[in-house]
Structure 1
Amino acid sequence: MQARSYSIDYMRLVLAAFVVFGHSGLGQQSIGLMGIILASSVLRTAVPLFCLISGFFLLRSIERGRFTGWVTRMFTLYTVWTFIYFFLMQLWDRPLQQTLYELFMGFRHLWFLLGLGQAALMLMFFRRWGLRVLIWSALAFGLAGLLLQYLRLTGLAPIPLEVFRSGPFDLYPFVVMGYVIASVHRDPDLFCRLRPSNRVLWGMILGGLVLANLEQMFWLGLFRPDMLVEFTAGFWLICPAVFLLALDMKAPAHSLPMAMMASAIYVLHMAFLHIGTQLQLDSPLLPALAGFVVPALCVHALSVSQRGQRLMAQLF
């Protein structure tokens, strides 16, 4: 691996802000339908980009013999925080069947942790046959996920959202992208030969945005005026291009635990939004700000001592 890319750390925090902003619904009442479509196409790139980052660093974990601990941690965090939110949201009065369904299919925003663990297990299974098979498997599952989503949007099949918005069909292709980039990135000469130029990467971002927005408008106008597309084919162009540009971008060095901050923000922000809803606040602005700032400050406070660092590693 080459030297640390601080720009990826900064990108993590930006993506965490995207997640908080998207879940809060800030500005939806004032930007109009086209604004919502464009914002959705931008903000929804946060999850696949997080997957790219995870896949990129997963190669290092595998080579150091830490994969089992990594994937176990994902499932443990998912289970622990699911039960925390279960009691925070006082969900014990609802049917047990619904609770078990959410637990195994993905609870609220925490589905990402479950899906990331599933995607990592799939990567470990397919990588034994080499990068070519790994890439083809990612393409196959990604296309299958798009097809399942389209079947739901057309009404041809009542496929639950949790089926295609999941580790195998949504996250796995992007985890593989990150892993493949890491595999090539370790050889500077090979990486320089295979990496598209910045002009091409910016073209991929622009083309991906156009494709994503056209796809949203197509489905909204033709079939489902009440539901935005969860993930689009345009993300397959946007996300690897953004990641490659960020990977080579020069950014100021720092000593902050930004990766852990982003993780804490992702896990905790929905608690602040939920509390804001319970308090019936006029605007989600304050809960959204608290959902970003408070977890980041908590992680920073914990990072100054060894005991705090151990607690931080267990929680986030």
Structure 2
Amino acid sequence: MNDSVRAGLSPAPEVFGGQWALADVVARLRVARMSWRKRQGRGREPGGRELPSREALAEIVHAVCGALFPMRLGPPDLREESEDFYVGHTLDSALNALLAQVKLELNYQVRHEARERPDLHQRAVHIVQDFAAALPGLRGLLDDDVMAAFHGDPAARSVDEVLLCYPGILAVLHHRLAHQLYQTGAPLLARMIAELAHAQTGIDIHPGARIGRGFFIDHGTGVVIGETAVIGERVRLYQAVTLGAKRFATTEDGSLEKGAPRHPIVEDDVVIYAGATVLGRITIGRGSSIGGNVWLTRSVPPGSHVTQANVQSEVRHD
């Protein structure tokens, strides 16, 4: 690397010579950046990294998962007599790293969302303290999720296989962590954690979704769960299920309204089979089953059994 680049200085134009015409490319990229910042109403950046790091967050999540399940997701040479030491040491490092990422998000909020936070450091500490305090409870929720997968899939040979192999469990593990951060004031970090799982599993769960215990996503690929969805206890989804919005409300200036309830409420003990699409702020009553490839935009009472055939019959009757 050129010394001027390593020092953070602007290199001389001749450094970018050669057949790629890099001097021109660099100059035009600078123009594009400045144009973007001007359109977004941003001044010159104050220096240093502005946004949280996906790479750093991935390492933090990996460490926290190891601390939650040390003998299964921790290091391969860990012994039971060293569990507490490993968990304490790992969490101390991970939570300090998380604090740095939370500070970056809070600073970003202040600069670009005009939020007033008189003591960003203390606010960041509180968010991480709340996250740490929630971990034992999250472990209990995740134990129920693992058991739901084990009991709900006849192909599962052990709870260890479920935790180590099932993409639905990986996605829900990330969601439980992301939802905690979402609730306590770090929505960008929460979304980044959700997208780490989305990239690995093909399961897209917005961190704002509220999901009860004993949740099982079987197979999983293509599942989408929207921000304002509410899911009860002991709910099971299969691949390619969508819990989405039917329409998007707009404000007076025509922009999309943010945060309005627009996704389904799924009550306890519901099963939704592969390819079903459930849209809008509707309620799927307790104990119902929604058949494969059903398109549903109306509420159904508890104990309903909705299939393509009976939905089509109702449409013809109307």
Q: Which has the higher helix share?
A: 1
Same fold by TM-score greater than 0.5: no
Q: Which has the higher strand share?
A: 2
Q: Tell me the TM-score normalized by structure 2.
A: 0.26
> If you compute each CA radius of gyration, which structure gives the higher value, 1 or 2?
2
